[in-house]
Structure 1
């Protein structure tokens, strides 16, 4: 007498897409953190060679990992997206799986940053009074809000990268150049308008008076949601 073997349950399509993303882990995680680690070592050596006068040593090198994030999901759209569609994954499922992967990835990276901040504070700036993770205007004093401050910018840069990759798949190089030039024009017009209205002091007060939680988590969260929506709308007609 034979017993029936229940068929293996397949993962939902979005989870399959997220699983495919793990093929790109060296680009998604290892390389950005490798760049950040190299930047950390360079700054640590430089500050170790500088005479210690008791003043804090502040570096903005932490931005390197966020800049690298802009590149990582371009690879997702140019390589993983066509591969997934070749496996009969719908664009909707691809977007959901990719968005879920981005959220988890950003949360993990934000947690790592928060842990390294705790180590930095416990070791008096790695023994050099160096503010690598504890950049003054980023520190909130609460571990949860600190995690948000580190995590949400990863979401924003990731979804902006998805938009860039989707524009490339949808419109090609002409689309990328058009978006780039449009961004330069809008930025230039904004700078001209602010200068014309003598509003630069007001802009400076806005950034100085706004809390780190609002500046690096609240507003970026809104922009990330907008970028995700734009990316989804463009993805619906993007070619593999």
Structure 2
């Protein structure tokens, strides 16, 4: 375990992308939300959501893409095994998500205490999560970050294994699969049933367990590719 922590410290050389930039974005979200409200002509006459959390997920995950494309070759040169590097990556992803989730819970509490930043805005409480307890909120905030980070890790591993060609093919293949699935669901008129099913799930299932399952599946694929990736 000590060796895994050492490899995790190597990855934290990229700490600005992993921690500093996402935390700065969280701190700026109330001002960004105000700017969006003003540009949309919001008059704060009722509760409304400002969807900035997906941007945070992407910003937090980008650092792990850089880890796989820049830190991984360096670590291999130091004699780090792929297994330990993968374990360290999982450790860093989890720690980052839990830390950011804790910060988001704190900002959510401040949001509620200020009446939605004085204008009934909701930036830090996705859906019904704002009504749950702090532990559920914490896990619900961390879950999507882990899932998106796993996707970025896989993208970085694909680049290391097959370079730009692999990334282009992966993007095109994913778009084709998602497009085909969307067309099938529309043709079968399944969207109302899917919406009703997702809407009936508890917060822990929808925002924590579901994203964790996605992360484990994507992480498993990333490990299979990583075993053959070179520097």
TM-score (norm 1): 0.89
Q: Does 1:74 align with 2:65?
A: yes
2:23 aligns with 33
Q: CA deviation at 1:39?
A: 4.1
Structure 1 residue 45: Cα displacement:
4.2
- Identify the match of residue 142 of structure 2 among 151, 174, 190: 151
**d(CA) in 2 for partners of 1:134 and 1:161?**
24
Distance 1:44 1:94, change over 3 A: same
**How far apart in 2 are the matches of 1:159 and 1:135?**
21
Asked if the contact 1:40–1:61 (Cα under 8 Å) also holds between the matched residues in 2, the reply is no
Q: Name the Cα RMSD after superposition.
A: 1.8
**Residue pair 1:114, 1:147 contacting (<8 A) in 2 also:** yes
- Further displaced range: 195-204 or 179-188: 195-204
Residues 1:23 and 2:13 aligned together: yes
Contact 1:35–1:64 under 8 Å retained in 2 = no
- Structure 1 portions without partners, runs of 5+: 1-10
Of structures 1 and 2, the larger Rg is shown by 1
Report what 1:116 is aligned to: 107
CA contact (8 A) 1:117 1:134 kept: yes
Q: Of Structure 1 and Structure 2, which has the larger fraction of its residues in helix?
A: 2
Deviations 1:83-119 (A, max 9, x none): 1111111111111111111111111111111111111
Q: Secondary structure at the match of 1:44?
A: helix
Distance in 2, Cα, partners of 1:191 & 1:22: 38
C-alpha deviation, 1:21, in angstroms: 1.7
Residue 121 (structure 1) shift: 1.0
2:116 is matched with 125
Deviations 1:146-197 (A, max 9, x none): 1110011111111111111000001111111111111111111111211221
Deviation string 1:25-67 (CA, Å, 9 cap, x unpaired) is 11111222333444431222454774342x1132111221012
Q: Give the whole-Å Cα distance in 1 for the aligned partners of 2:132 and 2:29.
A: 25
TM-score calculated relative to the size of structure 2: 0.92
Query: What residue in structure 1 maps to residue 184 of structure 2?
Result: 193
Please give the alpha-carbon distance, in whole angstroms, between the structure 1 residues aligned to 2:86 and 2:224: 10
Aligned-partner Cα distance in 1 for 2:131–2:220:
29
Aligned counterpart, 2:159: 168
1:213 aligned partner: 204
1:24 deviates by: 0.5
Provide the C-alpha distance between the structure 2 equivalents of 1:52 and 1:178, rounded to a whole number of angstroms. 45
